[in-house]
Structure 1
């Protein structure tokens, strides 16, 4: 049985209060009746998330915000001296012991939480204390891959981010072209996997093969402004960033492509749709 993971189990027994589910090794988990929305038969398979409640394995068809080994933003539903209970999307709240809190968790506020198994207690546990910019091995990414990001915090180098809910990476300040906010979600791109196993991320794809995205962004802005945009290849990086949330390098590439295709006319201080 994979504690804290979504998995497919087989129905081995039906009771008045729910279903007994079994894995290949014979280990059992209980699925309460409230999660059984249609008639099920013995030996039928069902996909569930397995967790603990009252020292017993239970299952739910609900989807948690995160599984063991993943990060998610969660709201605190109750804060006690011993720890805090977080809403993680299923019927049972996630417990974060006081010693696993980077700072005192306050009821009603949202926090970035990482899930792990407490080996001493064999319990699914949350923590808000985790290593920044760690080193990894055998990462499932290649340069240019599109990824989902959760913004963590701003540092001297840039922004620490969670990549695809599992890994911590870094967006350098030079690659930030718009206002970012902690705990918000963004789309990003793998910029580099460094030799030391650290992940560099960009908010924009790189290279001419991705320039269509930037060309479309300029066209959308032109259409929103009646065919005129008061930017040119002489505009400052800050002006381009404020207006289009892209780097001047990508702006010039995209603008050159639009000009070559005879879609825009470039004037001294503005761009005009042809």
Structure 2
């Protein structure tokens, strides 16, 4: 069975004029030769891009060769073809109709196929393998899978890098996001938890529950106990956004916390928008008034305050924000 690593694609930036190395491009055949077909960006696409970005990169690529062995049968000038563009063994840009296992800006698990003195070569699904620098290449067993970030080096050659986290973006979404469902791709495990790529270009950490941390003795058993697998896509829920934009995640949405918050909101509406409860209220008074524990109240207060649905006066009570009073 062919190796099919899972990937998450980084969100595209403002489009640049020209051909993108390391990405799949849709190009037009401009001319034919004995060596193959020379491809260019469709002129209508170029005009559209110029309206968005009038200052292309200094070394923008406008033409690339699709070798004869990859040319479609009966190829004609003007035909549109979908190709992946990379560099050959002489560092010349070249196109292929082969579909790569990952593109530039993606995280993927790729198979180790050979060694070099300063790194390893990984199977990218093309005639040419991709290089991953490493000071200890023999630490990676042949045919094992390695989690890498695909990018370009200074010479615009595709390269795989192990420092995935440094290439991921800080999460800067506006508004209340706790409990939001996100897509994840686990790529490493530590004593703290499972590091993942989130939706699809942010860094997140799924913390190990204490019960899992105490019982499991290997990375494989830890992942299995959490229902996760390296390189296997999954889902999680945002628990917290740190000041540096990194995400703390949980695997299961806290339904009880949502229920407590809803219950507190309804109690506020039933009591004219005000309640004499706060973080320091006694457990007895909280239960008598709301029928919930102090712990549940604290979670509900934190969630509603974060959503700006209520205001809190310490040691006095809470009040429903006016715009939500009639919901």
TM-score by length of 2: 0.54
Query: 1:27 deviation in Å?
Result: 1.6
Matched, 1:125 2:159: yes
**1: CA distance, partners of 2:104 / 2:141:** 23
Q: Which protein is bigger by CA-based radius of gyration?
A: 2
Worse-matched range after superposition: 24-33 or 131-140:
131-140
Asked if 1:178 is matched to 2:258, the reply is no
Gaps of 5+ in 1: 211-274
* Shift in Å, 1:188: 0.9
The structure richer in strand per residue is 1
In structure 1, what is the equivalent of residue 263 of structure 2?
none
Please state if 1:199 is matched with 2:279. Answer: no
Residue 55 in 1 paired to residue 55 in 2? no
Relative CO higher for 1 or 2, CA cutoff 8 Å, sep ≥ 6?
A: 2
In the TM superposition, residue 68 of structure 1 has moved relative to its aligned partner by 1.5
Whether the aligned pair in 2 keeps the contact of 1:10 and 1:46 (CA below 8 Å) is yes
- Residue equivalent to 1:9: 27
Partner Cα separation in structure 2 for residue 130 and residue 103 of structure 1 = 20
Q: Residue 105 of structure 2: SS of its match in structure 1?
A: coil
**Structure 1 residues 209-248: aligned runs within 5 Å:** none
Partner secondary structure for residue 109 of structure 2: strand
Within 5 A, what are the aligned runs for 1:21-60? 21-23=39-41, 24=46, 27-53=62-88, 54-60=90-96
Distance 1:194 1:28, change over 3 A: same
Quote the Cα distance in structure 2 between the aligned partners of 1:13 and 1:75.
Answer: 37
Deviations 1:131-179 (A, max 9, x none): 4796615469966555443322222332111235533211122398934
Q: Name the SS of the counterpart of 1:185 in structure 2.
A: coil
Question: For 1:178, what is the secondary structure of its paired residue?
Answer: helix
- Say if 2:109 is the partner of 1:73: yes
Q: Residue 179 and residue 103 in structure 1: after superposition, are their counterparts in 2 closer, same or farther (change >3 A)?
A: farther
How many residue pairs match? The answer is 209
- Structure 2 segments unaligned to the other structure (5+ residues): 1-18, 47-59, 213-223, 259-327
**Alpha carbons of structure 1 residues 102 and 152: separation in structure 2 relative to 1, 3 Å:** farther
Structural mapping, 1:129-208, within 5 Å: 129-131=163-165, 136-138=170-172, 146-164=181-199, 166-174=201-209, 178-179=225-226, 183-191=230-238, 192-205=240-253, 207=255
Residues 24-47 of structure 1, C-alpha deviations (whole Å, 9 max, x = no match): 477211112333344332122222
